[in-house]
Amino acid sequence: MKITLKHLTKIFPNREKGKPDVVAVNDFDFSIPDGKLVSLLGPSGCGKSTALNLICGLEKPTKGQIFFDETDVTERSPRDRGVGMVFQSYALYPHLTVRKNIIYPLKNFKGDKKLTKEEMNRRAEEAAKLVQISELMERRPSELSGGQQQRVAIARALVKMPEVLLLDEPLSNLDARLRLQTREEIRRIQQETGITTIFVTHDQEEAMSISDIMVVMKSGTLHQMGEPQEIYDSPANLFVAKFLGTPPINVFEGRLEKGTVYIGNDAVLKIRKPGGGDFSDMPVYVGIRPEGFMPDAEGSFVAGLKALEVMGRDTSVVFTHDDTVSEVTRAIISSKKGLNTGDGVVRFSVLPEKLHIFDKETETRIPFEV
Amino acid sequence: MKEKIKPWLYLLPAVLFLGVFMVYPIVDVFIYSFEEGYNSASQSFFGTGTFNYSYVLHDAYFLRALKNTFIIVIITVPLSTGIALLIALGLSSVKKIKELYQTVFFLPYVTNTLAVGLVFMLLFRKTPYTDGFVNMLLNALGMSTVDFIDGPYWAKMFVMCFYTIWVVMPFKVLILTSAIASVNQDYYKAARVDGTSEFRIFGTITLPMISPMISYLVITGFIGAFKAYSDEVAIFGTDLNSAGMNTIVGYIYDMLYGDSGGYPSYASAAAIILFAVVLTITTINLMVSGGFSVTGKAKK
């Protein structure tokens, strides 16, 4: 099912008197195509969960509309929207067995949708099979591991065969290894069922690896929407650039002078406007991805070496630079060849596609050609 | 060796205190109950046997007290718990001025029992000058005047139960309100997204989640109601036998210090009978409520 948000806004009154209201979701206006896995990505408290609650109907929007396909569901109760939802805490009923937990939503069906006991059991078993917990049906949630509980929660959300599946930070309670596994599991289940899925997370790596489309947001505002690689390669602004990627992008104070990007006295790259034409001189932020540095004895980017961290596959060079804005600046290089560390100075040349410049005022990215 | 003594050393004050003021008296009462004709002044008795029990169990006053106590227990415990649950549910769904409501419902708890008894007397008592507030209401509804304090047995029992429920309610409301508030909101959200009716949410989520607290209230409620005495005094005065409203604890008190008192053996026997009754009921309660355990482990 295609989900369309039209000028969706949610404002919460501030609990402290006199303080301005909190805009949790600010004018969301986009569509989520049918059958895709979309992640809402942003730092904690940016309104991701509120957006999810608006879509499932637990919260009423202050303004705007929500459409499922062509139907306006804004005024519908959660019951009539028929979405499946998985909560961060899983919210499995502790006093019921796994089977009863999964059957729970089916017992709410009324009228001609009402199911017999056998049908309920059959559907619960199907859902359990899909998430591979068939042998755990008679256990209680407290007797399951975190990953198993997660699967039960997904089975419970899927058992009523919803056309929309919402996942609210589903992996944040799992340990690192299980997280990787479950992430792939969610991807597999989504692709097998083809359910339009919205996945809320604050972990950019998780979002990048799992989603067809990523929605990056901050303080209730949408910053960029697109395919993960596309957002990574051409971030809309400094926030998006900084939020995506581990280790994070290195940001420097720089300037454009005669069509050349300068960081301090280092002329890093010569650029021109897309389609030709010269840039006028102005101060900018320069962002360079860690993988954008190439050790080069003749390189134009000069930095002080702080530490070398060998990580097996590649090497991380922690360096210092007078004009940096980031807390730590580092380059990831595949070989130490050409890295001259004799006098405590390292020289790099910079890959143009890994370098971004941002307007100093608006922090939006300025596109360029080499 | 030293390490083994240490914990007992820490426990010593509590063990001493409990031993002197709890264990010793209990054992003593048990012994008294089998000593016939015990005289506390001369510390002497005629012999040992079960005569005290036989006397108490054939005493019309004791049987009356036993009946009164059972009626109070059976009426007030389920009713007060049920009404408290309704009030707690109401309080949990109120959003505005919730604190005010909570305070109002909790006020009786911090009010003195005797003061409450006085107010109930004013409401229910019939005097030469006035029939009391409740009778005024009854008259306004076209019913005839009832003497609640000195009148028929059912009227007195009604006032007694009304009063008991009113006194024990605030604590139960408080416990249940916090029990309901401590249920993880995600359960409700999950149920709502699945289109669950409020009624089913209550039956399948709220009730099982707060059931440990409910059984706690029922068990302590039974124990408290079996030990009822001061509430009766607050309404009917100290001569409960003539009012026909005595309770087991009242009977024990009368046997010790009342006008017909001075019989510690009979009092001890009655106390042991009460203990046996409370122990039996509590055991049954625990066995029944074990089946509701939230983790479900106790069920096996």
Give the pLDDT mean for A16-42: 88
ipTM above 0.85, yes or no: no
Q: Are residues A205 and A272 in the same domain?
A: no
Q: How far apart are CA B24 and CA B26, in angstroms?
A: 5
Q: Quote the radius of gyration of chain B (alpha carbons, Å).
A: 24
Q: Is residue A243 domain-resident?
A: no
Phi, psi of A234 (to 5 degrees): -130, 75
Q: Are residues A101 and A230 in the same domain?
A: yes
Residue B7 tokens, joined: 């914990």
Say which of A82, A87, A95 has its CB closest to residue B296: A95
Ordered domains of chain B (ranges, CATH): 67-299 (1.10.3720.10)
Q: Are residues A272 and A348 in the same domain?
A: yes
- Does B103 lie at the interface with A, CB-CB under 8 angstroms? no
Q: Are residues A198 and A57 in the same domain?
A: yes
Instruction: Report CB contact under 8 Å: B209, A95.
Output: yes
The total of structural domains in chain A comes to: 2
Say which of A90, A108, A140 has its CB closest to residue B195: A108
Give the pLDDT mean for A301-305: 88
Q: Is residue A244 domain-resident?
A: no
| DSSP 8-state symbol, A20 | P
| pLDDT tens string B193-221 | 988 888 999 999 999 999 999 999 999 99
| Contact residues on chain B for A94, CB-CB shorter than 8 A | 294-296
- Does B187 lie at the interface with A, CB-CB under 8 angstroms? yes
Q: Is residue A254 domain-resident?
A: yes
| pLDDT tens string B30-62 | 998 998 877 777 777 788 888 889 999 999 999
Q: Is residue A242 domain-resident?
A: no
Whether residue B92 has pLDDT greater than 60: yes
Q: Are residues A358 and A231 in the same domain?
A: no
- Measured distance between the N- and C-terminal CA atoms of chain A, rounded to whole angstroms: 42
Chain centroid, CA B42 distance in Å: 36
Please provide the average confidence, as pLDDT, over all residues in chain B. 86
Residue type, B120: F
- Does B190 lie at the interface with A, CB-CB under 8 angstroms? yes
Q: Are residues A28 and A171 in the same domain?
A: yes
Q: Are residues A164 and A25 in the same domain?
A: yes
- Does B108 lie at the interface with A, CB-CB under 8 angstroms? no
Burial (CB count within 10 angstroms: exposed 0-12, middle 13-18, buried 19+), residue B144: exposed
Burial profile A131-149: b = 16 or more Cβ within 10 angstroms, e = fewer: bebeebbeebbeebeebbb
Whether residue A99 has pLDDT greater than 80: yes
Give the pLDDT mean for A294-316: 85
Give the pLDDT mean for A160-169: 90
CB B192, CB A58: distance < 8 Å: yes
| Contact residues on chain B for A57, CB-CB shorter than 8 A | 193
Smallest Cα–Cα separation from A81: which of A66, A64, A63? Answer: A66
> Which residues constitute the domain of residue A28?
3-237
- Does B212 lie at the interface with A, CB-CB under 8 angstroms? no
pTM: 0.79
Give the pLDDT mean for B82-89: 93
Q: How far is A95 from chain B (nearest CA, A)?
A: 5
Q: How far is A192 from chain B (nearest CA, A)?
A: 22
| Contact residues on chain A for B212, CB-CB shorter than 8 A | none
Q: Are residues A268 and A212 in the same domain?
A: no
| pLDDT tens string A51-95 | 999 999 999 999 999 999 989 999 988 888 889 999 988 999 999
User: Which pLDDT score is estimated for A341?
Assistant: 66
Q: Are residues A217 and A315 in the same domain?
A: no
| pLDDT tens string B96-148 | 777 888 888 888 888 887 788 888 888 888 777 777 888 888 888 888 878 88
- Measured distance between the N- and C-terminal CA atoms of chain B, rounded to whole angstroms: 40
Q: Are residues A314 and A198 in the same domain?
A: no
Instruction: Report CB contact under 8 Å: B196, A108.
Output: yes
Give the residues across from A193 on adjacent strands: none
Interface test with A, best of B95, B186, B188, B194 (most A CBs within 10 A): B194
Instruction: Report CB contact under 8 Å: B192, A79.
Output: yes
Q: Are residues A187 and A109 in the same domain?
A: yes
- Which CATH number characterizes residue A104's domain? 3.40.50.300
| Contact residues on chain B for A156, CB-CB shorter than 8 A | 190
Say which of B186, B209, B295 has its CB closest to residue A91: B186
State the DSSP string of A81-142. HTEEEE-TT----TTS-HHHHHHGGGGG--GGG---HHHHHHHHHHHHHHTT-GGGTTS-GG
Q: How far apart are CA A198 and CA A201, in angstroms?
A: 10
Q: Is residue A289 domain-resident?
A: yes
**SS3 for A26?**
strand
Q: Please identify, among A187, A203, A237, the residue that sits at the C-terminal boundary of a domain.
A: A237
Q: Are residues A163 and A280 in the same domain?
A: no
User: Which pLDDT score is estimated for A338?
Assistant: 67
Smallest Cα–Cα separation from A249: which of A136, A196, A321, A327? Answer: A327
Smallest Cα–Cα separation from A221: which of A356, A91, A78, A29? Answer: A29
A-B contacts (CB, under 8 Å): 64
